């Protein structure tokens, strides 16, 4: 660790991993509810479990992004963080607000939560992924502003690099587009239309900038390839991401009451969205092949390469599969969407957070550059267990989705939703088994932090 203030990243990373465990546990509950419909009913109905599952995901990824920024910005800027105290304060604010919100979901009926948090004053609740009470949303804005101020001031006073600049653009975009979460008109079509300004312009827009800059940072550090080369790649990747991704928002505007021309705009531009992810894969492998040194942290290199590949598969390939309007007409809102969502989020965002954690944590724990060989072997096992089981979760959901699409939408004799769900049970069971293996992988991932602590680093 070159700068003392980088240490504030550590609690962010620990919180991220802790919430990740919660996310997976609730995922397993939901997976079971898919086949044993009354599991935990009515104590934890599916909608509550899902809210916890998706909100924990968003929050732990945000914790990861913030930790990543606090770790890499001082090093890139070659100066201490503007205010480590503010960073630590915001950590606790965000953690407590997040925990209270999750407890609110679990302990009181959602309608009661809406009532006691004064939702009627500024109704923003009850929309997918934006279920948080309005006061929590305001809290998120405050934390985000304080965070961006802290990072921005650090960037301003220090060395300016392309990585910090791209990261900052991504973070500002994240904060700006989140403001659409407060716009919730009575008009359902408008509500849906602007809802995507948060959801799509985050995950298929500005988050890709954050992803790209974290990946570029880790690749510079682990491969020793010239910064100029890596920064050029970064610019090309994020240029492609925004050029395809902004108009690509149109692939959500096919069937929600918006004009039909979106079918053309959305299909064409979103069909190109795999390109930046493909470039990212080529980039990561090229840089590792051209490496000027063998970094002792091989686990971090594995995560970096894995992120590029899985983001391309999950976001790129599985996204393309159902993005063309004539296909989406049949697959919209089926298990195909769920399959894509799982691998894309894991591949692009969960894995990039684990990449930076893998790279930074040894230093944050006072080691020189890497964990012991023993710890890295365990970490790599967890990489493969989680990644392969996520591939299988995706494949089983895809199989379920294809059948669902056929039986409920495509055949001459369409069956009712619940009828079809019953026929898909086998695939849901298989998905649940893959989910349990994912959890085992996650447990091993955490174990890796606690083994071989007093053993020397690999050469």
Partner 1 sequence: MSQTFTKSMARNIFYGGSMFFFLLFLVLVFDTESALPESDNRAAITEEVAMGKMVWETNNCIGCHTLLGEGAYFAPELGNVYKRYGNSTEAIKAFIASRPKAGIPGRRSMPQFNLSEEELNAVAQFLKYASEINTQNWPPNIQG
Q: Which of residues 30-89 bind partner 1 (CB under 8 A)?
A: 30, 33-34, 36-38, 41-42, 45-48, 50-51
Site string for partner 1, 124-163 (x = CB under 8 A): -xxxx--x------------------------------x-
Tokens representing residue 384 in the block? 């493969």
Least distance from C-beta 166 to partner 1, angstroms? 9
**Residue 129 burial (CB < 10 Å; 0-12/13-18/19+)?**
middle
Q: Does the protein bind partner 1 through residue 258 (CB under 8 A)?
A: yes
Q: Please state the length of the chain.
A: 459
For partner 1, which is the closer residue by CB, 259 or 366? 259
Tokens representing residue 351 in the block? 């894995």
List C-alpha distances in Å: 104 to 55, 97, 115. 12, 10, 12
Using the 8-state DSSP alphabet, how is residue 457 labeled?
B
Tokens representing residue 113 in the block? 């939560």
Q: Could you tell me which of 211, 196, 208 has the C-alpha nearest to residue 243?
A: 208
Q: Does the protein bind partner 1 through residue 96 (CB under 8 A)?
A: no
Strand partners, 457: 372
Least distance from C-beta 213 to partner 1, angstroms? 12
**Residue 168 burial (CB < 10 Å; 0-12/13-18/19+)?**
buried
Return d(Cα 338, Cα 324) in angstroms, integer: 17
Tokens representing residue 424 in the block? 């898909």
Using CB under 8 A, which residues numbered 264 to 303 contact partner 1? 265
For partner 1, which is the closer residue by CB, 326 or 366? 326
For partner 1, which is the closer residue by CB, 127 or 221? 127
Among 93, 256, 271, 430, binds partner 1 (CB under 8 A): 256
b/e sequence 305-315, b meaning 16+ C-beta within 10 Å: bbbbbbbbbbb
Q: Does the protein bind partner 1 through residue 236 (CB under 8 A)?
A: yes
Q: Which stretch binds partner 1 (CB under 8 A): 188-196, 216-224, 315-323, 380-388?
A: 188-196
Least distance from C-beta 235 to partner 1, angstroms? 4
Element of type H or E holding 205: none
Q: Which stretch binds partner 1 (CB under 8 A): 15-23, 136-144, 240-248, 346-354?
A: 240-248
End-to-end CA distance of the chain: 19
Least distance from C-beta 161 to partner 1, angstroms? 12
Least distance from C-beta 61 to partner 1, angstroms? 20
Q: Could you tell me which of 386, 431, 402, 234 has the C-alpha nearest to residue 334?
A: 402
Tell me what percent of the chain is helix, strand and coil, each rounded to the nearest 5: 80, 0, 20
Using CB under 8 A, which residues numbered 1 to 30 contact partner 1? 30
Give the dihedral sign, CA 448/6/163/152.
Answer: positive
The values of phi and psi at residue 329, to 5°, are: -55, -35
Q: Which stretch binds partner 1 (CB under 8 A): 12-20, 60-68, 384-392, 412-420?
A: 412-420
Using CB under 8 A, which residues numbered 98 to 127 contact partner 1? 110-111, 114-115, 119-120, 123, 125-127
Q: Could you tell me which of 69, 196, 211, 92 has the C-alpha nearest to residue 142?
A: 92
Q: Does the protein bind partner 1 through residue 228 (CB under 8 A)?
A: yes
Among 79, 99, 138, 246, binds partner 1 (CB under 8 A): 246
Q: Which stretch binds partner 1 (CB under 8 A): 18-26, 250-258, 355-363, 369-377?
A: 250-258
Q: Does the protein bind partner 1 through residue 330 (CB under 8 A)?
A: yes
For partner 1, which is the closer residue by CB, 96 or 189? 189
Q: Which stretch binds partner 1 (CB under 8 A): 17-25, 186-194, 293-301, 373-381?
A: 186-194
Least distance from C-beta 85 to partner 1, angstroms? 35
Strand partners, 372: 457
């Amino acid at each position: 660790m070159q700068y003392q203030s980088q240490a504030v990243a550590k609690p962010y990373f620990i919180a991220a991993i802790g919430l990740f465990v919660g996310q997976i546990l609730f995922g397993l509950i939901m997976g079971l509810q898919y086949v044993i419909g009354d599991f935990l009913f009515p104590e934890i109905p599916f909608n509550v479990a899902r809210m916890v599952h998706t909100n924990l995901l968003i929050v732990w990824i945000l914790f990861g992004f913030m930790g990543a920024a606090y770790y890499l910005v001082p090093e890139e800027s070659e100066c201490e963080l503007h205010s480590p105290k503010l960073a630590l304060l915001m950590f606790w604010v965000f953690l407590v607000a997040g925990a209270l919100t999750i407890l609110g979901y679990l302990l009181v009926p959602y309608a009661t939560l809406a009532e006691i948090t004064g939702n009627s004053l500024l109704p923003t609740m009850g929309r997918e992924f934006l279920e948080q009470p309005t006061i929590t949303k305001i809290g998120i804005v405050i934390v985000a502003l304080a965070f961006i101020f802290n990072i921005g001031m650090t960037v301003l006073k220090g060395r300016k690099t392309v990585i910090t600049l791209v990261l900052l653009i991504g973070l500002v975009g994240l904060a700006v587009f989140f403001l659409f979460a407060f716009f919730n008109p009575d008009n359902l079509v408008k509500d849906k239309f602007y809802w995507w300004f948060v959801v799509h312009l985050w995950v298929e827009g500005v988050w890709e900038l954050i992803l790209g800059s974290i990946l570029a940072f880790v690749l510079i550090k682990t491969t020793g390839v010239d910064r100029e080369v890596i920064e050029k790649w970064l610019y090309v990747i994020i240029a492609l991401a925004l050029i395809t991704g902004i108009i690509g928002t149109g692939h959500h505007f096919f069937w929600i009451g918006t004009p039909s021309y979106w079918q053309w705009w959305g299909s064409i531009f979103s069909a190109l969205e795999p390109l930046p992810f493909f470039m990212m894969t080529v980039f990561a492998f090229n840089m590792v092949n051209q490496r000027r040194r063998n970094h002792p942290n091989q686990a971090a290199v594995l995560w970096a390469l894995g992120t590029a590949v899985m983001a391309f598969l999950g976001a790129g390939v599985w996204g393309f599969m159902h993005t063309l309007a004539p296909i989406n007409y049949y697959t919209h809102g089926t298990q195909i969407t769920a399959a894509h969502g799982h691998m894309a989020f894991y591949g692009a965002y969960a894995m990039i957070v684990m990449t930076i954690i893998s790279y930074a944590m040894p230093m944050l724990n006072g080691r020189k550059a890497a964990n012991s060989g023993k710890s890295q072997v365990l970490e790599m096992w967890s990489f493969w267990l989680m990644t392969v089981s996520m591939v299988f979760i995706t494949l089983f959901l895809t199989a379920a989705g294809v059948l669902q699409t056929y039986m409920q939408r495509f055949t001459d004799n369409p069956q009712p939703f619940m009828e079809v769900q019953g026929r898909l049970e086998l695939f849901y069971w298989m998905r649940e088994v893959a989910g349990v293996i994912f959890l085992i992988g996650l447990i091993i991932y955490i174990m890796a932090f606690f083994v071989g602590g007093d053993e020397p680093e690999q050469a």
